[in-house]
Amino acid sequence: MNAPTPIELVCPAGGLPALKAAVDNGANCVYAGFKDDTNARNFTGLNFDENSLKEGIRYAHDRGVKVLIALNTYPQTENWPRWTAAVDRAADYGVDAIILADPGLMAYAQRAHPNLRLHLSVQGSATNYEAINFYHERFGIQRAVLPRVLSLAQVEQVIANTPVEIEVFGFGGLCVMVEGRCALSAYATGTSPNCNGACSPGKAVRWEQTPQGLETRLNGILIDRYAEGERTGYPTICKGRFEVDEETYYAIEEPASLNTLEFLPELVRMGIRAIKIEGRQRSPAYVAQVTKIWREAIDNCLRDPGQFAPKASWMAELNKVSEGQSYTLGAYNRPWK
């Protein structure tokens, strides 16, 4: 019997402390972004300038860990040179791959830096092997991150019909939109997350203590109201509570994190090449905790997939850092099919 294919653990780095936490706790790869709108986590206080990125790359490479740079927003005609300059910077710094969504930027990267490894971002929304093979044949994409809308059977079909390495999300926040293309946030704020990199941009967010409780608004729209002592979340429309037929509840999506630990043996069997942890906007402590648990789980599963079962302690610790302190299997599990 052949040994299971090694699976890379790809972990988030919203800054240098988080990068080091991921590296120190067992990540095979870290993914990061520049301090601008060329990446889909364009928030104040996140991401890397030149000095911190060079230090992060040195720290990771000294320990055998790869660094991936997300350039996964969509440039426009008037700002195209900034995105191509970001590709050039990433290549000059010696990153191991760049994660792209825009086909024009893929063409530029392939032409200007033919030895630079290219990954297809989840923002590219390639949900079938024909699309992935197109990106591979036309732009040399070597890995694709699948959107979180496919069942396990659909994931397996993709893997069986493409030479491209497949990466899937294993843990972290979910989005009801087409992988970050948030029409709700764009409608409410006039700023497109897919072009500017921020769903619910900070300049549009307001918090106010009222007699009814702590209220949070996005560009004036009431998103949620919290009772005293209730755990608060960052205000996104999809995860707000709204009044529908005189009842107030999570009308669009309940805050819960994806957690696929129980599917690890299936993912190993299928030949998944990498598992991604969401959360560049989360703290270094989150990164350390989640990375450590997933490293142990993957190693245990690869040693003996047939006997693998998630430890109760792993699930309890992951629930502590999950949105809403609960988790879901997402689209991977469709019991009616």
5 band by pLDDT with thresholds 50, 70 and 90: low
State yes or no: pLDDT of 332 exceeds 90. no
Looking at per-residue pLDDT, the higher value among 239 and 72 belongs to: 72
Same-domain status, 281 and 242: no
- CB–CB of 143/164 below 8 Å? yes
The reply to whether 18 falls in a domain is yes
Question: 211 Cβ partners below 8 Å, 6+ apart?
Answer: none
Which helix (H) or strand (E) segment holds residue 236: the answer is none
Res 1: pLDDT = 44
State yes or no: pLDDT of 265 exceeds 90. yes
Same-domain status, 221 and 288: no
The terminus-to-terminus CA distance of the chain in angstroms comes to 31
Question: From CA 200, how far away is CA 186, in angstroms rounded?
Answer: 8
State yes or no: pLDDT of 180 exceeds 90. no
State yes or no: pLDDT of 333 exceeds 70. no
| CATH assignment of the domain containing 296 | 3.20.20.70
What is the token pair recorded at 240?
């707000």
Same-domain status, 296 and 168: yes
Last residue of a domain, one of 249, 271, 299: 249
- The torsion angles phi and psi of 254, rounded to 5 degrees, stand at -80, 140
The reply to whether 238 falls in a domain is yes
Give the burial string for 187-225 (b: 16+ CB within 10 Å, else e): ebbebbbbbbbbbbbeebbeeeeeeeeebbbbbebbbbb
Res 177: pLDDT = 66
CA distances from 158 to 137, 145, 198 (A): 16, 11, 30
Last residue of a domain, one of 230, 249, 268: 249
Crossing angle (nearest 10°) for helices 80-93 and 50-62: 40
Same-domain status, 167 and 272: yes
Same-domain status, 69 and 44: yes
* Tokens 């142990």, located at residue: 296
Over the stretch 93-143, which tens digit does the pLDDT of each residue have?
999 999 999 999 999 999 999 999 999 999 998 999 999 999 999 999 999
Same-domain status, 198 and 270: no
Same-domain status, 153 and 298: yes
The reply to whether 1 falls in a domain is no
How do beta strands 257-259 and 327-328 pair? parallel
Question: From CA 145, how far away is CA 10, in angstroms rounded?
Answer: 11
Segment 263-274 mean pLDDT = 95
CA distances from 5 to 2, 8, 29, 103, 156 (A): 9, 10, 16, 30, 15
Res 68: pLDDT = 98
Question: From CA 173, how far away is CA 184, in angstroms rounded?
Answer: 17
State yes or no: pLDDT of 253 exceeds 80. no
The reply to whether 62 falls in a domain is yes
Segment 187-205 mean pLDDT = 87
The length of the chain, given as a count of residues: 337
Res 197: pLDDT = 87
The reply to whether 152 falls in a domain is yes
Same-domain status, 77 and 145: yes
Same-domain status, 96 and 162: yes
Same-domain status, 105 and 12: yes
Same-domain status, 96 and 42: yes
- pTM summary value: 0.91
Crossing angle (nearest 10°) for helices 103-112 and 80-93: 50
Q: 85: which DSSP letter?
A: H
State yes or no: pLDDT of 336 exceeds 60. no
Last residue of a domain, one of 249, 264, 290: 249
The reply to whether 2 falls in a domain is no
Res 162: pLDDT = 98
Res 171: pLDDT = 92
One-letter amino acid at 1 equals M
Same-domain status, 223 and 267: no
Question: From CA 320, how far away is CA 192, in angstroms rounded?
Answer: 31
The reply to whether 3 falls in a domain is no
One-letter amino acid at 337 equals K
The reply to whether 117 falls in a domain is yes
28-32, 34-38, 184-188: which range is least confident on average?
A: 184-188
What is the token pair recorded at 311?
């430890």
Segment 271-279 mean pLDDT = 96
Q: Mean pLDDT for the chain?
A: 91
73-87, 213-227, 310-324: which range is least confident on average?
A: 310-324
Res 91: pLDDT = 98
Q: Domain range for residue 199?
A: 183-249
Over the stretch 287-324, which tens digit does the pLDDT of each residue have?
999 999 999 999 999 999 899 999 999 999 998 887 66
What is the tally of structural domains in the chain? 2
Q: What secondary structure does DSSP assign to 249-279, as a single string?
A: E-SS----EEE-GGGHHHHHHHT--EEEE--
Question: 234 Cβ partners below 8 Å, 6+ apart?
Answer: 200, 205, 281
* Tokens 């209730």, located at residue: 230
State yes or no: pLDDT of 144 exceeds 60. yes
